[in-house]
């Protein structure tokens, strides 16, 4: 029995011992869990707080990065638009502006009459007080100064034709259109498209060409002096030689257009027409000349 009882007892004893071990380890595990958990609680709290503040920082940093990226993109776009497209200046279509662009594509409003027309005190080759003697005040004063300086240099300039009303353009267009067989655009602007309606343009001439308006004026002393100095008084040769395709006009060394000293000087320096100034360079045309 002992042989039987002993192993039985010892088995029971082993089971009890194992059970005790298990209980101990469970208790230890529990204690460990509780102690560690408690010691971790405040830490985890801090950690969480730190973590959340870190997240805020992260968010802020990301936002900054995003806005920086957007700024970068803007800069890139700006740079690209700078390099890819020529600088575009908005076309001045205000009829009362001294720098207005008037041509076939940019006609004046129907019936436009300049607000401040005056009769400039300059010589004309005729004595009648015709409306075409008029210019807008600022342009008229500039013309007086231009003519006065030319006279000081021993030259006599004459004004031939300034302000031209819409109605007068209609008459001229009908007359020249019939005579030239429809090619009136070459010499006289379609009504509403003449710069003369702005009161900012004056055709000038001299005795050497019989007070006519023709290209030989460019070879006279007066013509050469005007081409060289008009910009100092705010005028440009509006339809220059070599720019016929751009302006739509044959060379008119006699047609002065007032744009103010600043713009006239810039256009002269850069050799630009008003069209090129506002609408960029014309597409390259191979003229065959080098």
Residues that bind Zn ion (CB under 5 A): 203, 255
CB nearer to Zn ion: give 204 or 263.
Answer: 204
CB of 193 to Zn ion, least distance (A): 12
252, 275, 279, 284: which is the annotated catalytic residue?
252
CB of 252 to Zn ion, least distance (A): 6
CB of 135 to Zn ion, least distance (A): 12
Active site residue 252: yes
CB of 113 to Zn ion, least distance (A): 18
- Nearest in space to 220 (alpha carbons), one of 204, 242, 234, 239: 204
Quick count: other Cβ atoms within 10 Å of Cβ 137?
14
Distance CA 107, CA 103 (A): 6
What is the number of residues in the chain? 290
CB nearer to Zn ion: give 71 or 104.
Answer: 104
The residues that are catalytic are 252
């Amino acid at each position: 029995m002992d042989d039987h009882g002993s192993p039985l007892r010892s088995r029971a004893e082993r089971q009890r011992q194992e059970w005790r071990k298990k209980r101990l380890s469970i208790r230890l595990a529990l204690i460990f869990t509780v102690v560690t958990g408690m010691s971790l609680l405040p830490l985890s709290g801090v950690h969480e707080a730190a973590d959340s503040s870190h997240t805020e920082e992260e968010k802020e940093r990301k936002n900054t990065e995003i806005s920086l990226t957007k700024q970068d993109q803007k800069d890139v776009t700006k740079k690209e638009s700078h390099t890819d497209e020529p600088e575009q200046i908005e076309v001045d279509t205000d009829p009362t502006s001294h720098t207005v662009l008037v041509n076939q594509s940019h006609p004046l409003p129907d019936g436009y009459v300049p607000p401040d027309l005056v009769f400039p005190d300059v010589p004309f080759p005729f004595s009648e007080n015709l409306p075409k003697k008029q210019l807008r005040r600022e342009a008229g004063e500039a013309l007086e100064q231009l003519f006065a300086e030319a006279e000081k240099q021993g030259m006599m300039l004459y004004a031939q034709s300034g302000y031209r009303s819409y109605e007068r353009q209609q008459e001229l267009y009908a007359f020249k259109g019939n005579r030239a067989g429809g090619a009136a655009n070459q010499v006289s602007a379609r009504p509403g498209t003449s710069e003369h309606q702005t009161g900012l343009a004056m055709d000038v001439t001299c005795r050497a060409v019989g007070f006519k308006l023709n290209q030989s004026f460019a070879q006279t002393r007066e013509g050469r002096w005007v081409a060289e100095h008009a910009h100092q008084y705010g005028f440009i040769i509006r339809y220059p030689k070599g720019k016929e395709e751009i302006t739509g006009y044959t060379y008119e060394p006699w047609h002065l257009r007032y744009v103010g000293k600043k713009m006239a000087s810039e256009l002269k320096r850069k050799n630009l027409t008003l069209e090129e100034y506002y609408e960029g360079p014309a597409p390259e045309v191979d003229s065959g000349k080098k």
